[in-house]
Chains A and B, each alone.
Chain A
């Protein structure tokens, strides 16, 4: 096949890079909302990977999987952000490190 054509490896690298960027953002940022946004970036990486594999195997399973990922992302955003708003109303901060007092130690 000719050089420069787009193959599976291109989609896999793009998906993995997006996932890792989201992972780093989740671990490094302290704002709860930005941490949730980082998980959404990770979802985007997984969607690219699923679509790439589905294209590689020439069926629609990967795309169907990505549709269910959308469902999970919507559920996660609705519930997670509801909890973030509740925590903000109760504690007055979005700093993830401020909630370390909630651990049992």
Chain B
């Protein structure tokens, strides 16, 4: 157990506490709720700063993005911070529309990270497909399924304003992330040289031409199967969307738990 591993556990624990503070729950509108969210934001900022310091201290057997390109390092940290912060905002925001828009920001930041790793085609595909197509689907569904409400949160549904008890999921997430990151920080767990040390000078460029030949040379069957899968999804989505819902189709559901149970 190295000091780096303990540092990482501390950072992850701080992140879990921050998420606990930020999750929507009963009493968010009051002064206590505002204070708790401010504390959560503070802890999250501290955890992010700690994560940057921790990552800066990591020595790697092989630099994937060498410092010979001097803009890479700062931009990686910038994109990583934006991605993590907007991902947290996505899961804690009480309004689904804002969640979807914050997720667009996450996708753009991840596209930047992917671009720094020389995956140009994938970066463009992420922006086009995720930020351009999938999120539009989400926003349309939110428009269809959620009534327009005023500026304040008073009209929001109780299932948006109060989350489930966050303690057990946060504990699970802490254990998962700690068990993944702790061993990664131990240098003795890494091989002395990376597998690509000899070709590190010429990393593969993931441009459209290179990705095309890679996909159609090495993954032809998978490409065809992906096409079949997309066709099946189109047919299935049309079948689902065409279904007429009459009064006889109403299904009885349990009453919404208005009180919420986020106090646990």
| Chain A residues within 8 Å of B, Cβ to Cβ | 1-14, 16-18, 20-25, 27-31, 33-34, 36-38, 40-41, 44, 47-48, 51-52, 54-61, 63-64, 66-68, 70-75, 77-79, 81-86, 88-91, 93-102
Q: How far is the CB of B53 from chain A (nearest CB, A)?
A: 11
A22 to B102, CA, bound (A): 13
B159 and A93 contact, CB distance less than 8 A? yes
Q: In the complex where A55-B118, A71-B226 touch, is A91 in contact with B172 (Cβ < 8 A)?
A: no
Q: Is A95's CB under 8 angstroms from B72's CB?
A: no
> Would you call A56 and B240 a contact (CB within 8 A)?
no
Q: Does B153 contact A (CB under 8 A)?
A: no
Quick check: is B114 within 8 A (CB to CB) of the other chain?
A: yes
For A6, give the chain B residue with the smallest CB separation. Answer: B65
Residue B113 is within 8 A (CB to CB) of chain A in the complex = yes
Contact (Cβ within 8 A) A84 B130? no
Q: Is the CB of B83 within 8 A of A44?
A: yes
Query: A41 near B56 (CB under 8 angstroms)?
Result: no
Are the CB atoms of A20 and B60 closer together than 8 Å?
A: no
Residues of B within 8 A of A7 (CB): 58-64
Would you call B163 an interface residue if the criterion is a C-beta within 8 Å of the partner chain's C-beta atoms? yes
* Complex CA distance for A14 and B159, rounded to whole angstroms: 30
Contact of A41 among B87, B163, B219, B252 (CB under 8 A): B87
The answer, yes or no, to whether B117 is at the interface (CB within 8 Å) is: yes
User: In whole angstroms, what is the CA distance A79 to B141 when docked?
Assistant: 12
Task: Tell whether, in the assembled complex, residue A73 and residue B113 are in contact, meaning their CB atoms are under 8 Å apart.
Answer: no
**Contact indicator B122/A67 (Cβ below 8 Å):** yes
Sample 17 A-B pairs with CB under 8 A, ordered by A number.
A9-B185, A17-B15, A23-B176, A33-B100, A33-B138, A33-B141, A41-B90, A44-B106, A60-B210, A73-B129, A73-B130, A74-B230, A75-B229, A83-B240, A85-B240, A96-B159, A98-B255
Shortest Cβ gap from A100 to chain B (Å): 6
Among B62, B164, B184, B243, the residue within 8 A (CB) of A30 is B164
Whether B249 lies near A90 (C-beta < 8 A) is: yes
What is the minimal beta-carbon distance from B182 to any residue of chain A, in angstroms?
A: 11
Query: Is A6 within 8 A of B63, CB to CB?
Result: yes
Are the CB atoms of A1 and B137 closer together than 8 Å? Answer: no
Using A12-B184, A60-B211 as known contacts, say yes or no to A99 and B141 having CB atoms under 8 A apart.
no
Residues of B with C-beta under 8 A to A94: 145-146, 157, 159
Q: Are B63's CB and A37's CB within 8 A?
A: no
| Beta-carbon contact of B219 and A64 below 8 Å | yes
